[in-house]
């Protein structure tokens, strides 16, 4: 409880929890436990015992989410992220810290991959820590097997982004009777462009229209969102204007060949894929050993790529075997993938899963497990706030409650003893309103305590 509350309220290292946070917090009074509970060895021993309870926790969570919030499990959202370490290899054989694709844009640090399944409301069902060099497309069979083992075989809709399922995975899902809705790579849109061109648009909701293309055992859904078109075009124009100005600056500066390549690399990192919309005309590299001289270069707009990019902005190609489902509902399912991204964002920002100070692999996984537990508490309060106080975020609610403090008030008596009152401050109006909305009550004020005769005098001598 202490580790999870600490990770949720004021995350930091176990050493900080032991040396500072537990003493300053009210956790000892609320749990009626002394400082020995937060002894560093106790905290580390607790981490060592946690992982054996993962599967039992996942089964418990399913019933808990259903009882508290009426959550259903017909639709599962699946995605992956990574977290990295400042520690350097080599690591012991079989260690999951391996260099691979870094979703945090830190290729200099060794990562692990975290795969997560949540419901469309954002409630987590299970997660797994995998080696940092794990390929996205190899993770799906592991999770399908795990979900069936924990929750039984049932017809569920798996919603995933492109890059996770392969053709073999989709074929296996069809064989098992599972349903899927996945994003498709850009290359498949190129192959189906002609067939989609002759299909009529169908309005499914305001500013969203679709084209449907049945093919083989699947239904391809080509979605156009006018709001998304405006947003993506605005982002692309802003980056392209910046890149154009930067190239003009470099052209007027005439840097050396090596310096030019470095500046172009920095510009490419700044604008990302927009860099492909410009054709560069670079000079020849100077002969090896020759002194670098200032060089000229040219650039033009890649008009064919720009036209192709404009056609695809705000448009998505989805693939599903739910051929009888309303296209508007399919689009809504796919939009719910943002809940997985929100979960990863909360775990990395509000719950500060990094930095990870542990060196042993099992304690690293236990640290991630505690972060998962803290996210379960986080998402529970998030949905309670959504129902009763929709204007507040979880972090804002915690800041409001942080103003309620627990104090020890000491009164010396005439016979050398000390009367101690442990009292929490009375909540302000906005805090009381929030407590009432959530149906919470502060714990009753504790009865006074009195020290033994001479205890106060002995304490003063110490």
Residue 157 · residue 179 · CB < 8 Å: yes
Examine the domain organization and report whether 133 and 80 are in the same domain: yes
Supply the DSSP symbol for 383. H
* Ramachandran area for residue 226 (φ above 0: left; ψ -120 to 50: alpha; else beta): alpha
Examine the domain organization and report whether 60 and 105 are in the same domain: yes
Q: What pLDDT score was predicted for residue 107?
A: 84
Give the total number of structural domains in the chain.
3
Of 421, 370, 410, 400, nearest to 29 by C-alpha is 421
Examine the domain organization and report whether 127 and 83 are in the same domain: yes
Give tens-digit pLDDT for 358-381.
888 899 999 999 999 999 999 999
* Ramachandran area for residue 289 (φ above 0: left; ψ -120 to 50: alpha; else beta): left
Q: Across residues 324-350, what is the average pLDDT?
A: 85
- Please indicate, yes or no, if residue 175 is contained in any of the structural domains: no
DSSP secondary structure string, 128-186? Answer: EEEETT--GGGSHHHHHHHHHHHH-S---EEEE-TTS--HHHHHHHHHHT-EEEEE--H
- Please indicate, yes or no, if residue 212 is contained in any of the structural domains: no
Q: Across residues 172-177, what is the average pLDDT?
A: 84
For the ranges 9-18, 324-333, 377-386, the lowest mean pLDDT is seen at 324-333
Token pair belonging to 271: 């604008």
- Please indicate, yes or no, if residue 14 is contained in any of the structural domains: yes
Examine the domain organization and report whether 376 and 256 are in the same domain: no
Examine the domain organization and report whether 85 and 17 are in the same domain: yes
**Percentage of the residues of the chain whose pLDDT score is greater than 70:** 98
307, 327, 355 - which closes a domain? 307
Examine the domain organization and report whether 343 and 411 are in the same domain: no
Examine the domain organization and report whether 3 and 38 are in the same domain: yes
Token pair belonging to 31: 């749990």
- Please indicate, yes or no, if residue 206 is contained in any of the structural domains: no
Give tens-digit pLDDT for 127-168.
999 999 998 888 888 888 888 877 777 678 899 988 888 888
Examine the domain organization and report whether 28 and 131 are in the same domain: yes
Examine the domain organization and report whether 100 and 4 are in the same domain: yes
Q: Across residues 428-457, what is the average pLDDT?
A: 84
- Please indicate, yes or no, if residue 128 is contained in any of the structural domains: yes
Examine the domain organization and report whether 59 and 97 are in the same domain: yes
Q: What pLDDT score was predicted for residue 453?
A: 62
For the ranges 15-24, 74-83, 287-296, the lowest mean pLDDT is seen at 287-296
Q: What pLDDT score was predicted for residue 350?
A: 87
DSSP secondary structure string, 84-121? Answer: EES--S---TT-S------TTS-TTSEEEEEEEEE-TT
Provide the domain limits for residue 440: 403-461
Q: What pLDDT score was predicted for residue 279?
A: 96
Give tens-digit pLDDT for 376-421.
999 999 999 999 999 899 999 999 999 999 998 999 988 889 999 9
Examine the domain organization and report whether 156 and 33 are in the same domain: yes
Distance CA 172, CA 168 (A): 6
Examine the domain organization and report whether 103 and 138 are in the same domain: yes
Q: What pLDDT score was predicted for residue 459?
A: 42
307, 323, 350 - which closes a domain? 307
**Percentage of the residues of the chain whose pLDDT score is greater than 90:** 48
Give tens-digit pLDDT for 246-284.
999 999 999 999 999 999 999 999 999 999 999 999 998
Distance CA 405, CA 401 (A): 9
Q: What pLDDT score was predicted for residue 454?
A: 55
Supply the DSSP symbol for 350. T
Q: State the chain's mean pLDDT as an integer.
A: 88
pTM, full prediction? 0.82
Q: Is the peptide bond before 197 cis (omega within 30 degrees of 0)?
A: no
Q: Across residues 84-108, what is the average pLDDT?
A: 84
Name residues whose C-beta falls within 8 Å of residue 446's C-beta, 6 or more positions apart in sequence: 29, 421, 422, 423
């Amino acid at each position: 409880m202490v580790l999870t509350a600490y990770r949720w309220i004021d995350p930091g290292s176990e050493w900080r929890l032991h040396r500072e946070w537990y003493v300053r917090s009210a956790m000892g009074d609320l749990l009626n436990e002394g400082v020995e509970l937060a002894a560093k060895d106790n905290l580390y021993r607790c981490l060592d015992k946690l992982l054996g309870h993962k599967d039992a926790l996942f089964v418990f969570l399913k019933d808990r989410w259903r009882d508290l919030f009426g959550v259903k499990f017909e639709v599962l959202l699946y995605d992956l992220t990574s977290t990295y370490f400042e520690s350097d290899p080599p690591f012991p054989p079989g260690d999951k810290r391996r260099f691979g694709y870094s979703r945090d844009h830190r290729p200099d640090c060794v990562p692990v991959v975290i795969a997560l399944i949540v419901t469309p409301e954002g409630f987590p069902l299970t997660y797994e820590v995998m080696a940092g060099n794990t390929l996205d497309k190899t993770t799906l069979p592991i999770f399908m097997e795990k979900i069936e083992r924990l929750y039984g075989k049932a017809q569920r809709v798996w919603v995933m982004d492109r890059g996770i399922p392969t053709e073999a995975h989709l074929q296996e899902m069809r064989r098992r009777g599972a349903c899927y809705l996945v994003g498709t790579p850009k290359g498949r849109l190129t192959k189906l462009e002609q067939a989609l061109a002759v299909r009529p648009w169908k309005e499914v909701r305001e500013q969203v229209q679709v084209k449907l293309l049945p093919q083989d055992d699947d239904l391809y859904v080509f979605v156009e969102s006018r709001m998304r078109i405006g947003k993506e075009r605005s982002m692309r124009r802003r980056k392209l204007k910046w890149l154009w100005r930067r190239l003009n600056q470099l052209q007027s500066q005439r840097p050396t060949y090596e310096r030019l390549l470095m500046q172009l690399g920095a510009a490419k990192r700044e604008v990302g894929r927009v860099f492909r919309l410009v054709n560069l005309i670079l000079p020849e590299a100077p002969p090896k050993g020759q002194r670098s001289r200032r060089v000229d270069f040219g650039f033009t707009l890649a008009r064919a790529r720009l036209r192709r990019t404009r056609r695809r902005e705000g448009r998505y190609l989805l693939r599903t075997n739910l051929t009888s489902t309303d296209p508007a509902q399919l689009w809504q399912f796919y939009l719910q993938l943002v809940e997985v991204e929100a979960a990863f964002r909360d775990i990395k920002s509000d719950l500060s899963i990094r930095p990870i100070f542990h060196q042993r692999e099992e304690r690293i996984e236990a640290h991630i497990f505690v972060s998962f537990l803290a996210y379960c508490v986080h998402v529970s309060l998030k949905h309670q706030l959504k129902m009763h106080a929709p204007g507040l975020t979880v972090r804002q609610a915690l800041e409001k409650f942080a103003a309620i403090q627990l104090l020890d008030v000491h009164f010396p008596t005439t016979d050398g003893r000390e009367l101690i009152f442990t009292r929490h401050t009375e909540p302000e109006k906005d805090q009381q309103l929030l407590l009432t909305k959530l149906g919470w009550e502060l714990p009753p004020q504790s009865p006074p305590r009195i020290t033994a005769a001479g205890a106060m005098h002995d304490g003063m001598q110490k």
